[in-house]
Amino acid sequence: DDTTTTTTAATTTTTTRANQLIQNTRSSNKVVGEFLDEIGFYQSITVTEDSPIYQARSKYQDIEVHTSHHYGKILVLDGVTQLTERDADAYNEMMAHMPMMEHMEPKRVLVIGGGDGYVVSEVLKHPSVEHVDHVELDEDVIKVCQTHFSWGKAWDDPRVTLHVTDGAAFARNAPKGYYDVIIQDSSDPFGWDEDGNEFELPSAVLYTKEHLENLYQALSSDGVLNFQTDTYNLPHDLEDAKEWREKLLEIGFESSRYGSLSISSYPTGQFGFLLCKKINGSGPNLAEVERRFDDMVERGLSTTYYQPKFQEGAFLLPLWVDKYLYGTHEQKGSKLNMKNEL
């Protein structure tokens, strides 16, 4: 009928315009974007005409800083967006405060990765913190973020000791039972070439069972571990999350839960982390978390994304994700296939 014809024509026009926009923005080199071949998904952010405002090659990777009218400054490593001024709070506040609030009194903290310094700056908001070891491989990332981002002052705090070295080696030699909280804010372990083939990145060593065992050994008896696990919207990433969770439980953690957060500058707008505890049920109750959070606010150290309710709410997942990660029913294939099997 006429309505169907009109709708189809409008959809075709919209799709054509979208394709033209992608082609135009790509050819003008005024976007930073990422194509996920696994699901055929492309996402980009339009940047200003003077971008990049910084561009260099470190010993390990290409480092760029771009600017956007909406997102502000954008840190890009090897062509992949790491953070933006507008929504970096979502990822970094959750990576820091979720594990910190799961411990009764976190005094000694280890942060692996996170060369931008944002996670460290959030950890320091907790008055119980006496010492933070920050381990970052690429010193150039630190220097760039000290210059271009407001949270680049975190290393000036006397409680922080910066170690420019390999995270796996540091964990291997860390004193046993020393840290109350460990946060692994590392880059992805795998990449994809132009033909859609997976290849291993240097950070892959930070996801091996041996390294996770070293982190477990470095934690105190009631220690908490948090590390990034990417989005559940990519089948491969979800499979990895399940595999890592099972490894962590085998190592000895009594609980390992996938938490979710919303961040528009990351592909698909969703990202995750695994929060692991040596003793399930240890740590403060929600009322105590709210009291500690209120104290942060009163001291002028509030957050903009994190709130205490996330200590429970972040672990509420879509049914198909929940069943895949925790259920006994093994589900393979795409999200659609997973849904059909439920």
User: Of 112, 131, 223, whose CA–CA distance to 177 is shortest?
Assistant: 223
50 is catalytic: no
| List of E strands, the chain | 31-36, 41-46, 54-57, 62-68, 72-77, 80-84, 108-113, 131-136, 160-164, 179-185, 190-192, 198-200, 219-228, 255-262, 270-277
Tell which phi-psi region holds residue 121, choosing left (phi > 0), alpha (psi between -120 and 50) or beta: alpha
SS (H, E, C) 199-219: EECHHHHHHCHHHHHHHHHHE
Q: Which one from 89, 138, 180, 185 is the annotated catalytic residue?
A: 185
Specify the DSSP class assigned to residue 75.
E
User: Of 249, 278, 245, 248, whose CA–CA distance to 259 is shortest?
Assistant: 245
For residues 122 and 101, give the distance between their C-alpha atoms in angstroms, rounded to a whole number: 12
The residue length of the chain stands at: 342
- What DSSP assignment string belongs to 133-154? EEEES-HHHHHHHHHH-GGGGG
For residues 79 and 194, give the distance between their C-alpha atoms in angstroms, rounded to a whole number: 13
Catalytic residue positions, numbered: 185
